[in-house]
Amino acid sequence: MGGCCISELVGEDHKHVRDALVSFLKPESLKQYIGKMDEEVRNHLEMHWHGKEQVTLCVTIDEDLTFTIICSLLFGIERGPRREKLADDFRYMVEGIWSIPVNLPFTRYNRSLKSSARAQKLLKHLIGEKRDDLKHGASPRQDLITYLLSIRDDKNKQVISEIQHGFHHAVLQCCRRHDLLILVAEQEDIAKNKHGELLTWEDHAKMKYTWKVVMETLRLFPPIFGGFRKAVKDFEYGGYLIPKDWLIFWVTGMTQMDDTIFPEPSKFDPNRFEDSASLPPYCFIPFGGGPRICPGYEFARIETLVSIHYLVTRFTWKILCSDNSFSRDPMLAPAKGLPVQISPRKLL
């Protein structure tokens, strides 16, 4: 991921990079990108779904909707050979995240390092171009890179080198097919007042049930299964002494499947989130928690809601595979790629 990836930074350095990301990714800023996300989703469906009877949801990275949106909104890389090249490198980079770190030729780790170096080179080149665009009057808000470049201070260079990190989480949505009539009704309600116009911030705010479904999916199948924290001082937990400087791995599923917090934890029940504000803190943690909580939360939320809107209002679906097992390598993926039969639908 690069020598000074955000997850490696601590203290002031971390705060500095994080603040810059958060100011771009906060809801007030994202409001203006919802239309762009909408266009990307539509284009994507036009390209990869329309005219087909069957699609596989877990596709190669260059056909991945999230990758497309991230490239466009965060990196300002439009469709074309450059995006395809980055997609290839990104795929190999991710494969190496959980590999044995022995750098021998032909290993996953080695391939991952090479891909990471190529991706960083490409991004550095891109940053140069964006810097020139800025000098020639481009809007700082056109994408995340340009925005970060427009923040002027002595650590500017460092901020820019961290943005690659957002990538590896952003490809991780796990929208699964359930019998979700209420969700479809909610989306149809929004769609019936539209005559080709883009979704707005107000539309997205109406997608309350849909978001509950997504939260329940993230509870049962968190894309990120945990993360490391370092103990900053000695402390006791559950009768064990955890010494200062020890690495602790927190596991999302342990908390989210705890029946004292979520009764009948294996049951899929979006209504658990009827009053999500009443959940005790640090109990629903697909986006982590505390000072390192995912800054891409709102971005992921809007992108997921916009995607679901078009997936359920433009197509009817039938899952073609009875095997609904999945693997983590390290990301969550359905074992058989989740093939679905689709047919276009017109709303009445």
Tell me the β-bridge partners of 317.
342
Q: Residue 291 CB, nearest distance to ligand HEM (Å)?
A: 7
Residue in 20, 21, 145, 311 binding ligand HEM, rule: CB under 6 A:
21
296 binds ligand HEM (CB under 6 A): yes
Site string for ligand HEM, 138-167 (x = CB under 6 A): ---------------------------xx-
Residue at 35: amino acid letter: G
Token digits of residue 279:
């959940």
295 binds ligand HEM (CB under 6 A): yes
SS3 category, 339: strand
Token digits of residue 243:
């010494």
Distance in angstroms (rounded) separating the CA atoms of residues 31 and 201? 6
For the chain, give the longest Cα–Cα distance. 63
Q: What is the DSSP letter of 73?
A: I
Find the part of the chain contacting ligand HEM (CB under 6 A) among 114-122, 268-276, 285-293, 314-322: 285-293
Distance in angstroms (rounded) separating the CA atoms of residues 74 and 76? 6
213 binds ligand HEM (CB under 6 A): no
Site string for ligand HEM, 53-82 (x = CB under 6 A): ---------------------x--------
Q: Are the CB atoms for 22 and 163 separated by under 8 Å? A: no
Q: Residue 140 CB, nearest distance to ligand HEM (Å)?
A: 17
299 binds ligand HEM (CB under 6 A): yes
224 binds ligand HEM (CB under 6 A): yes
293 binds ligand HEM (CB under 6 A): yes
* Residue 200 φ then ψ, to 5°: -115, 175
Token digits of residue 301:
């939320």
Distance in angstroms (rounded) separating the CA atoms of residues 91 and 89? 5
Residue in 37, 65, 172, 191 binding ligand HEM, rule: CB under 6 A:
172
Q: Which residues bind ligand HEM (CB under 6 A)?
A: 6-7, 18, 21, 25, 74, 165-166, 169-170, 172-173, 223-224, 227, 286-290, 292-296, 299-300
